[in-house]
Amino acid sequence: MNARVLVAEDDPKQAHLIRLYLEREGHHVLVVADGRSALEQSRNRRPQLLVLDVMLPVIDGLDVCRILRAESAELPILLLTARATEDDMLLGLDLGADDYLTKPYSPRELVARVRALLRRAGALAAGDRTVLTVGDLEVDEGRFEARVGGRPVRLTAKEFGILQVLAAEPGRVFTRAEIIDKAFGFDHYVLERTVDAHVMNLRRKLERDPATPRYVETVFGRGYRLVEWPAS
């Protein structure tokens, strides 16, 4: 898949290396060096994927991620961060990033992550129109859209992928490893803790009270399931 990729990276050497590897994959790459430019070019050029460094001048990458995710649920965002703690990773996912890489990283690994995100987004866009209905929850695979009681819910690609897996078999308990395999495909770098972060975000968007979920239920010691009929 040849795609329009926007790279927001203020380190010239890193930016050049990312451009080189992505262009070898056949992608059309635009590089910017600050957060304001990342916002402007995302809005004007409509990239199909954003590679976003967290430590950007003018506007930092986390704020860029938050702003863009509020404007669009469809744009896949890959964060690059030198912050290696779990809390930093979860913060990025909480703001709407689809994936992250910790510096230093292998350029080949970055290419693999980009490929995985693009394949996932492409499969969703090209898929047949199927609507999975569970109670008042609808998962529209063709339109990449979820609705609760007819109200559209904006989800990231990975949030939607997890919901799609659960909605295909309501009541079945999926382990985190199974969710990674089905929703994230060959992207085996995903951690089980990452699934928990995406599920937490799903609940915030789907549930009236995320602390007492009616849709995505935790089965302790096993994983997650979508309840067959949401409680009234």
Domain boundaries, the chain: 4-125, 127-226
Please state, for a pLDDT cut of 70, what percent of the chain lies above it: 90
Would the pLDDT of 231 be above 70?
A: no
Query: Which residue, 136, 176, 182, 139, is CA-closest to 160?
Result: 139
Bridge-partner residues for 79, per DSSP?
52, 100
In angstroms, rounded to a whole number, what is the distance separating the alpha carbons of residues 20 and 24?
6
Query: Residue 84 pLDDT more than 60?
Result: yes
Separation of alpha carbons 187 and 185, rounded Å: 5
Residue whose pair of structure tokens reads 């969703």 in the numeric block: 124
- Residue 230's pLDDT is what? 42
Pair of tokens at residue 56: 């950007």
Whether the predicted pLDDT of 12 surpasses 90:
yes
118 pLDDT above the threshold of 60: yes
What pLDDT, on a 0 to 100 scale, did the predictor assign at position 86?
65
User: Does 127-226 match 4-125 at the fold level?
Assistant: no
pTM score > 0.75 for this model?
A: no
> Cα–Cα–Cα angle for 213, 215, 218, nearest 5°?
65
- CATH number for 4-125: choose from 3.40.710.10, 3.40.50.2300, 3.20.20.480, 2.40.30.10: 3.40.50.2300
Answer whether residue 156 shows pLDDT above 90. Answer: no
Looking at the DSSP assignment, which residues form a beta bridge with residue 148?
Answer: 137, 151
Cα 83 from Cα 128, distance rounded (Å): 39
Task: Report residue 128's pLDDT band, with 50, 70 and 90 as the boundaries.
Answer: very low
Q: Which of 117, 93, 83 is nearest to 3 (CA)?
A: 117
Q: Are 223 and 175 in contact (CB under 8 A)?
A: yes
Give buried/exposed letters for 35-44 (b at 16+ CB in 10 A, else e). Answer: bebbbebbee
Strands 77-81 and 216-219: unpaired
What's the whole-number mean pLDDT along residues 76-97? 80
Residue 7: is its pLDDT beyond 90?
yes
- At 1 the pLDDT is 59
| Residue 203 to residue 149: CA distance in whole angstroms | 15
Count the Cβ atoms, other than its own, within 10 Å of residue 148: 18
Nearest to 94 by CA among 109, 114, 79: 79
Which CATH architecture is the domain 127-226 placed in? Orthogonal Bundle (1.10)
| pLDDT band, very low/low/confident/very high, at 199 (cuts 50, 70, 90) | very high
Residue 126 scores a pLDDT above 80: no
Q: Quick one: pLDDT at residue 218?
A: 94
